[in-house]
Amino acid sequence: MISDPATPRVVLDPELGYRHLDPMPSDPAIEKFYESQYRDLLNAGGRAPELTRLVDGGPDADLEREWLTATLYADIVIALDGAPTTGRPRRSLDIGCGTGDVVRAVAAAGWDAVGIEPAEDFAEVGRAAGLRIETTTAGSYLERWRASGDAPFDGITFLNVLEHVPDPRGMVIDAGSALAPGGRLVVRVPNDFNPLQEVAIKHLGGPPWWISVPDHVNYFDHASIASLVEGTGLEVVDRLTDFPMELFLLMGDDYRADRAVGRASHHKRVRMEMALDPDLRRAMGRSWVALGLGRNAFVVECPRHERRAEGAPRRGVPSRDRALRRRTGRGGRRRPVRGLALRRGLRPAGSAVR
């Protein structure tokens, strides 16, 4: 997927606590990929399946939006609602907003919501629907915000963004500086190298299908993303996850290279989550976090000194996470698992379901 003769390895950084590509693709290589190849991979089902289904339109897009509104977007609104009210509409910023569906959901909850998206074609879809979306990068937008003297944001969201950027810690620090007192920052990243992925590789073989070079330059799990955000001066106040899609693999539905199987598996997951009571669904997600399971890691943070001032206990590593901690080393980092060493030259296959 990139022209370099040696495809990067995925390595565990002992200082940062998460996995990343080594060497990192150059900025020109990444830019060329997004300009010439990324949209083709989206259309082929190899990247960002939620976004692809929304952009494609039709009945599948309507079902996807209904499901996301009842699950992920509802969870985001609840997480942001921890920010204090001030008598004015609270301000939110969605970084990497895609077509703006999170912006729409947060605005519907009464927030003054804006999104930023570097891809013009995705941003234009949202603007055509009347949403406030700027085509720009996070760094450029936040630099202009600091120069403008505008009010800070009561809520900031990163949904499946930090796995794409070479310096995720710096991006969280930059965003955290724009957070109002008592504000909430919500991060969602893929939960990669998780226990069910390891079991699937052991029993089904094949390469690690969740590796996406060169656009996914970082690979987090529940422990490492919590460790990263806490290292920036924020404190984790809640952690959730969604359905562990790898269970379908272990039940015989091998969606890794079959879009039809992937689509059927996704629809089963949607039907189940739509049928569940929302509180039960969230409770299941929190219990899966303790086991290191779930397809995505969802973390809610606030400035640490403000959390302490409220007199609430630290929840960066909640007591219910003892099972996860037993699977980790110092600093919340996952212990290496034999049999999953990634060789130089490994080229992962695209996945029909993420």
Report pLDDT digits (tens) over 80-99.
Answer: 999 998 888 999 999 999 88
Report pLDDT digits (tens) over 205-258.
Answer: 999 999 988 889 999 999 999 999 999 999 999 999 999 999 999 999 999 989
What's the confidence (pLDDT) of residue 350? 37
Pick from 143-157, 164-178, 296-310: least confident: 296-310
What's the confidence (pLDDT) of residue 129? 94
What's the confidence (pLDDT) of residue 192? 98
Instruction: Give the list of residues 6+ apart from residue 195 with CB closer than 8 angstroms, or none.
Output: 291, 292, 293, 327
Interior/surface letters 210-224, b for 16+ CB within 10 angstroms, e for the rest:
bbbbbbbbbbbbbbb
Three-state DSSP at 24 gives coil
Report pLDDT digits (tens) over 119-145.
Answer: 888 899 899 999 999 999 999 999 999
Instruction: Give the list of residues 6+ apart from residue 311 with CB closer than 8 angstroms, or none.
Output: none
What's the confidence (pLDDT) of residue 292? 98
Whether 74 has a pLDDT exceeding 90, the answer reads: yes
Which CATH class, in words, describes the domain spanning 9-332?
alpha beta
What's the confidence (pLDDT) of residue 234? 96
Tokens 């120069």 correspond to 147
What's the confidence (pLDDT) of residue 255? 94
43 sits in the region (left: phi over 0; alpha: psi -120 to 50; else beta) called alpha
Three-state DSSP at 218 gives strand
* Domain ranges, ordered by start, for the chain: 9-332
User: What percent of the chain clears pLDDT 90, i.e. is strictly above it?
Assistant: 64
Asked if residues 49 and 266 have their Cβ atoms less than 8 Å apart, the reply is yes
Report pLDDT digits (tens) over 176-198.
Answer: 999 999 999 999 999 999 999 99
Q: Is the bond preceding 214 in cis, omega lying within 30 degrees of 0?
A: yes
d(CA 147, CA 85): 25
Report pLDDT digits (tens) over 27-66.
Answer: 777 777 776 677 666 666 556 566 666 666 677 778 888 9
What's the confidence (pLDDT) of residue 161? 94
What's the confidence (pLDDT) of residue 57? 63
Q: What is the mean pLDDT of the chain?
A: 83
Could you tell me which residue, 292 or 25, shows the higher pLDDT? 292
pTM over 0.85: no
**Amino acid occupying residue 183:** G
Average pLDDT over residues 278-302: 98
Q: Write out the H or E segment, with its range, that includes residue 152.
A: none
